[in-house]
Chains A and B, each alone.
Chain A
Amino acid sequence: MPRIDAHLHVFTKVSPEFPRETTPVCPAEREEPVEKLLAEMERHQIDQAVLVQIGGTSLAQHRYLLHCLRAYPGRFLGIGLIPPEHPRPADYMAELASYPGIIGFRLSEFGGPRDIFAKMDVREFKTYPIWCCAAERDYVLWLYPRAIDAHLLPYLIQEFPQVRVVLNHLGMTPGKGKFSWDEKGRPRVQVTGYNLAMHTTYRLARFENVTVHLSGQYAFSNADFPYQDLAGWHRNLLNDFGAKRLMWATDFPWILEDPGYGALTTVVEKLMPNLSASALADIMGGNAKRFLRFPDRHS
């Protein structure tokens, strides 16, 4: 069974060929190129990976992602971003997905009422056209919802049972003002001691088209690797979603310094020591291959 890193980012220096947005963490001169990723993957026997767009939503800003997908066919699948104010998001999605390897799109907002007690009509949600397009064209939706949007998800998932959904980073939903970058250049998300996702995203286990990433532990944990304070979250996800609907990922490159790519290839077995060999193999790649339809590596 292949070992697949189901969520990470690569980017290169800003250039006319590969334009992208710059941030303090990703200045113009910084690069974390696909070749560096491939070296880590080779070293740690990881066969394939999902490259998730970073650095902007425009088509031009996707060029490096598209280059990687084209340069290493069969090795990677890609997740794109949609400009938030695009007048015809479905057209944009279709255009981006016409490039080989793009299988879906990442969202963090859904554009519905912030109050769960409000009347819910998904057709009035701002992202309804995106979900329609995903349903019609079989795109995957890659979700890292804001806390204020988490309650909207079951309405959309119920409306679109054919859309494959991947909840990023343990199904967590960052709160406003709770995101920062730590001194090692890693995302940091402040969360409550009691895992509130138990009452929102974990409840989506009911829907069989929903899977969850086991990733991003470093961002939520108050402990060093292997983040034993999150072992309970992993147990709950396993209980609720089952071993067939969990996907391991590293969130490269943020983890290169601490704990390192190699260490993260062992995080699942360390936090879920009672997994059977077959369940571990599913989480480490089998589920991503099946759910995301990765090609056979040497086909």
Chain B
Amino acid sequence: MIRPDAAQKAQWEAEGYLVFENAIQGEALKRLQTAFDYWADACKAEWLERVEAGEAAATFYDIPNPFEKDPVFIDIVDYPSYYGALMAFTDDELILLAPQVRTVAPWPVSYTGWHPDVPQSSPLHIKVQIYVNDVPSGCGEFAYVPGSHKPDAGPYTRPMRQESMPGHKTFPGKAGTAIMFNSYGWHVSMDNHSDVPRQSIILIYEKRTPGRVSPEQFAAISESCQTPARRQLFSLA
């Protein structure tokens, strides 16, 4: 486990985000991309049926139950590049809430507007977004308002255009880049003006509170969670 250094800790506190370039690389990245492509393709028809039925949004889709489809999706939850930072920032009380293995279509506007995920009254809530394909500028890259995670920040309002958000920073990146951010802060997906979908995985974590995740939620992957650390992470302990 790689714990964050002093500079990373300081940036996390002040800015609310950390970027891990090449967090996943080489064969591990190829395997992740292969699994992503295979399952995204396999699940697309069903998603379109759900769109037609008004049960899913038309602008993006997630691979359902990814942990049960390929263990590569489990292995990135505690991937060494960023797992130590997650543990450090949650005082080693980290749990996973959910994965979103997400394909976002190019569209004239982004599929979402600027927003924080949770109020300050919630337990510390952290997301890690991993780019599975290259995400250049203008191609739906993640963006964040540094410092907006602090209780005394803002107030912020949602601008009509993504690029009009005061003080925001965009995060284009290569496949395998992981961006960790405090979800109290305001963030968004920028517009994607290319013809290439954005493929990324968003892992949603929280600092453990009793009963937050039931043991049943990840019971199906119990066999892949044999260590005490993993059982805690997936609320199986």
CB-CB under 8 A from A240, the residues of chain B are 113, 158
Contact B52 A196 (CB under 8 A): no
Which chain A residue lies CB-closest to B60?
Answer: A199
Judged by a CB distance under 8 angstroms, whether A192 is at the interface is: yes
Query: What count of chain B residues pass the 8 Å CB interface test?
Result: 25
Residues of A within 8 A of B161 (CB): 206
Contacts of B110 in A (CB 8 A): 203
Knowing A114-B48, A117-B105, A239-B158 are in contact, say whether A196-B111 is a contact too (CB < 8 A). Answer: no
State whether A198 and B112 are in contact (beta carbons under 8 Å apart), knowing that A115-B48, A151-B59, A239-B157 are contacts in the complex: yes
Nearest CB on B from A195, distance (A): 10
Complex interface bits, B43-67 against A, C-beta within 8 A gives 1, otherwise 0: 0100010011111111110000000
Beta-carbon contact of B160 and A151 below 8 Å: no
Task: From A117, A147, A154, A199, give the contact of B54 (CB < 8 A).
Answer: A147
Considering the complex, which residues of chain B in the window 63-101 have a beta carbon less than 8 Å from any beta carbon of chain A?
A: none
Known: A116-B107, A154-B109. A196 touches B56 (CB 8 A): yes
Closest to B162 in A: A206
- Rounded to whole Å, the gap between the CB of B191 and the closest CB of chain A is 9
CA distance A200 to B112 in the complex (A): 9
Contact between chains at B109 and A176 (CB < 8 Å): no
Q: Considering the chains assembled together, what is the distance between the CA atoms of A175 and B111 in angstroms?
A: 19
Summarize B's interface: helix, strand, loop or mixed: loop
Asked if B53 and A176 sit within 8 Å, CB to CB, the answer is: yes
Which residue, of A155, A177, A196, has the highest number of chain B Cβ atoms within 10 A? A196
Q: Flag whether A150 is at the interface (Cβ < 8 A).
A: yes
Q: Which residues of chain A have C-beta atoms less than 8 A from B53's C-beta?
A: 147, 175-178
**In the docked arrangement, what's the CA distance between A217 and B112, Å?**
23
When distances are taken between beta carbons in the complex, the residues of chain A under 8 Å from B172 are none
| Least CB distance, A178 to chain B, in whole angstroms | 5
Name the contact of A150 in the complex, choosing from B58, B109, B197 (C-beta under 8 A): B58
Contact with B along A106-148 (1 / 0, CB 8 A): 0000000011110000000000000000000000000000111
Which residues of B lie under 8 Å from residue A177 when comparing CB positions? 53
| A293 smallest CB distance to B (angstroms) | 24
**How close is B224's CB to chain A, nearest CB, in angstroms?**
29
Question: Complex: how many Å from CA A150 to CA B52?
Answer: 10
B107 engages A192 (CB within 8 Å): no
Q: Does B210 contact A (CB under 8 A)?
A: no
Q: Nearest B residue to A117 by beta-carbon distance? A: B105
* Chain B residues closer than 8 Å to A158, beta-carbon distance: 108
Q: Are B59 and A116 in contact (CB under 8 A)?
A: yes
B206 to chain A, nearest CB (A): 19
| Known A114-B48, A151-B59: A196·B108 in contact at CB below 8 Å | no
Q: Given B44, B59, B113, B160, which contacts A200 in the complex, CB threshold below 8 Å?
A: B59
| Chain B minimum-CB-distance residue to A118 | B105
Across-interface contacts of A205 in B (CB, < 8 A)? 113, 160
Contact B108 A155, beta carbon cutoff 8 Å: yes
Question: Which A residues have a C-beta under 8 Å from some C-beta of B?
Answer: 114-117, 146-148, 150-151, 154-155, 158, 173-178, 190-192, 196, 198-200, 202-206, 239-240
A-B contacts, 26 listed (Cβ < 8 Å): A114-B51, A116-B59, A116-B105, A116-B107, A147-B54, A148-B48, A148-B52, A148-B58, A151-B58, A151-B105, A151-B107, A154-B108, A177-B53, A178-B53, A191-B54, A192-B54, A199-B58, A199-B60, A200-B57, A200-B58, A203-B59, A203-B112, A203-B113, A205-B160, A206-B109, A239-B157
Other A-B contacts than A114-B52, A151-B58, A175-B54, 19 sampled, CB-CB below 8 A, are A114-B48, A116-B58, A147-B51, A147-B54, A148-B58, A150-B58, A151-B107, A154-B107, A154-B108, A173-B54, A178-B54, A192-B54, A196-B56, A199-B57, A199-B60, A203-B109, A203-B113, A206-B109, A206-B160
